[in-house]
Amino acid sequence: SVSMGGHATWDSILTRSDYFAGAIPEAGIPLVEGFQLAKYLFLRNLFQVRMWVMQGTPDKDQPKINRTATDLLRRLGYAVEYREYDGKGHGACRQDSDKALDFVLTAKRDLYCKKIVKTVHRLVHGRAYWVRIDKI
C-alpha cells in the first residue's frame, strides 16, 4: 500500500498484529491513529509479522523514520526487510515488488503462540489472540 495506504498498513499491523502474517507498507511511516509520538512505541507488537518496507528518498522525513523503525525491529529479532530507493518519487518503488511478495507470502501466523506482546493506548485495541486487556 502506498502513501496514505502505507500509513494505514502500519496502523493496522501495529494495532491488530494478530490479524496479519505479513505486510508491505510503501511510502508510509509507523503511525497509530495518525500520531507520530507513538511511531516506535508499538513496534514490539509485530513479533509475528513479516515486514517488507519500501521507501523513496525524496520523501521528507520518512526515510529516516523507516530506517530507524526497521533497525529497531531487526534488533528485536523480527523478520523485516527495508528497501530505500534513491531518487524514486513518492510511491514509485515497484522494482522489488515480486521479492517483497515472496518474502511476506512465506509468513505464517501462529494462532497459538506461546508469547504475546501487546502495547496499546486505547482499550479498543486491547485484544490479541486469546488475550483481552480490560484496564489501562
Query: Could you write out the DSSP letters of every residue in 58-90?
Result: TSSSHHHHHHHHHHHHHHTT--EEEEEETT--T
**Identity of the residue numbered 104:** V
Q: pLDDT for 7-19, tens place per residue?
A: 899 999 999 999 9
Fold classified for 4-132: Rossmann fold (3.40.50)
Closest CA to 65 of 7, 24, 129: 7
Q: pLDDT for 95-129, tens place per residue?
A: 889 999 999 999 999 989 999 999 998 899 999 98
